[in-house]
């Protein structure tokens, strides 16, 4: 049920989902379209250590994560539209300025700035959904948004590969800036203000501090968000090393974007199926099952990589095991994000900012550590998945006081009806 009279005044449900997904996809674009270009950037900018190329991703994520803390309170005070448009302008400036980067240090600095601009899209996209929906309906909408959003990781590496065939690595930034300009214009013309006037919070230190206190002291919300940190960190560790795994270990070459897209497609399918079942079974039951299978599958993957030793896992076996893991990633992350946001509707912008910050920065740092452990085999990456899955399960147990597969007190009566 819609909770804001402003939310869908001008947008249909389909356009609302598509626009929110497109805003979030700008972040995925800034990461995934880069993957085929990392070796070319390294060569052009004299980066000698191939693991240092991963900094093109990690510096972006750090700027993206930290700045969310500022966009949250701003969006709770001034509404969703104005901070979003400011963030989009910053994103566009950095994307086009990166074309002129004279060295690797300048490129990394501009990637930080680009991430800072993208922070507004993440915080405000989630806040807009929370302004408009709640409970299991919110989880359904988030799943559909994520399904559409996952189109970008499916196609972005392929786009990057095609762009590299037609021009230098700077062509990728031209494309990124052009697409972001189109989405920015769409948001400017079509996205209504979803924050009701009575829910605006003064931009005073005491009020902002109170909002942060409300977020950090909510045990359920906080520990579901922390579980997301560790699961996301595992994923980002794989993304950092994905070009080295698919090309270096499995020799896929120009087929690397196809392999990457296949896994993104699995996650998109997972999100769609979640949107079909979440109202019936609830966010908790699905996310608990998913994180347990995610962790078990990761432990199996790690064990297999050790068993095969210096020989890589056969590619079909790798895809089968990793496909199950990433399917469960889709079910666990989507529902855990909803569970972390659901109790905090009165401070949705601040909550989205805090959770976005800890998940993005924490995940980026964890992912950078895992990615840099790459030693020519998948064993360190699989070990990262297994260990992060175990820690995530512990966080979920703390959030639920040791009880799994419940429906939550707020849905107990709903489930009986």
290's CB contacts (< 8 A; 6+ apart) are 328, 329, 330, 331, 332, 335
372's CB contacts (< 8 A; 6+ apart) are 51, 54, 240
Q: Which pTM value belongs to this model? A: 0.73
Q: In terms of Cα–Cα distance, which of 315, 312, 302, 319 is closest to 376? A: 312
Check: CB of residue 32 under 8 Å from CB of residue 153. yes
Going residue by residue through the chain, which has 417 residues, state the pLDDT in tens, using 9 for 90 and above: 344 444 445 678 889 989 998 998 898 889 888 888 888 888 889 887 777 887 898 899 889 888 988 898 888 889 999 999 999 999 999 999 999 999 999 999 999 999 999 998 988 888 888 888 877 788 788 878 877 776 776 788 888 888 998 989 999 999 999 999 999 999 999 998 888 888 888 888 788 888 888 888 999 999 999 999 999 899 989 988 888 898 889 988 878 888 888 888 888 888 888 888 888 888 899 999 999 999 999 999 999 999 988 788 899 999 999 999 999 998 888 788 888 888 887 677 788 788 878 887 888 789 889 988 888 889 999 999 999 999 999 999 999 988 888 765 444 433 333
CA–centroid distance for 95 within its chain: 19
* Helix 219-243 / helix 315-341 crossing angle, nearest 10 deg: 150
Report DSSP letters for 210-225, one per residue.
HHHHHHHT-HHHHHHH
Q: In terms of Cα–Cα distance, which of 259, 261, 268 is closest to 319? A: 259
Q: In terms of Cα–Cα distance, which of 179, 172, 153, 150 is closest to 38? A: 172
Measured CA to CA, the distance from residue 121 to residue 302 in angstroms comes to 35
Q: What value does the CA radius of gyration of the chain take, rounded to a whole number of Å?
A: 20
């Amino acid at each position: 049920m819609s909770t804001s009279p402003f939310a869908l005044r001008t947008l249909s449900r389909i356009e609302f989902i598509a626009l929110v997904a497109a805003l979030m996809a700008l972040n995925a674009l800034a990461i995934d379209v880069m993957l085929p270009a990392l070796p070319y950037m390294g060569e052009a900018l004299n980066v000698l250590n191939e693991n240092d190329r991963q900094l093109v991703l990690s510096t972006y994520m750090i700027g993206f994560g930290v700045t969310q803390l500022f966009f949250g309170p701003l969006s709770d005070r001034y509404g969703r539209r104005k901070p979003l448009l400011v963030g989009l302008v910053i994103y566009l400036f950095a994307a086009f300025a990166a074309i002129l980067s004279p060295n690797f240090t300048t490129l990394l600095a501009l990637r930080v700035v680009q991430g800072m601009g993208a922070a507004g899209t993440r915080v405000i996209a989630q806040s807009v959904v929370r302004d408009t929906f709640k409970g299991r309906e919110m989880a359904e909408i988030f799943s559909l948004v994520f399904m559409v959003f996952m189109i970008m990781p499916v196609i972005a590496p392929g786009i990057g590969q095609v762009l590299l065939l037609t021009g230098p690595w700077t062509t990728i930034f031209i494309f990124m800036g052009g697409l972001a300009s189109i989405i920015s214009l769409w948001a400017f013309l079509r996205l209504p203000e979803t924050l009701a006037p009575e829910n605006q919070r003064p931009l005073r230190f005491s009020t902002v501090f109170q909002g942060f206190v409300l977020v950090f002291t909510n045990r359920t919300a906080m520990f579901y968000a922390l579980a997301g940190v560790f699961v996301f960190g595992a994923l980002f560790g794989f993304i950092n090393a994905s070009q080295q795994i698919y090309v270096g270990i499995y020799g896929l070459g120009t087929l690397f974007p196809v392999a990457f897209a296949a896994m993104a497609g699995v996650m998109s399918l997972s999100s769609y199926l979640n949107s079909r079942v979440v109202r019936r079974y609830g966010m908790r039951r699905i996310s608990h099952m998913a994180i347990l299978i995610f962790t078990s599958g990761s432990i199996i993957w790690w064990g297999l990589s050790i068993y095969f030793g210096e020989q890589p896992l056969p590619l079909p076996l790798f895809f089968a095991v990793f496909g199950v893991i990433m399917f469960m990633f889709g079910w666990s992350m989507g529902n855990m994000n909803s569970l972390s946001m659901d109790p905090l509707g009165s401070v949705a912008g601040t909550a989205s900012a805090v959770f976005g910050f800890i998940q993005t920065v924490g995940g980026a740092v964890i992912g950078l550590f895992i990615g840099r452990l790459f030693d020519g085999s998948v064993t360190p990456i699989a070990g990262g998945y297994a260990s992060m899955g175990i820690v995530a399960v512990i966080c979920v147990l703390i959030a639920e006081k040791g009880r799994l597969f419940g429906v939550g007190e707020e849905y107990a009566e709903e489930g009986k009806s």
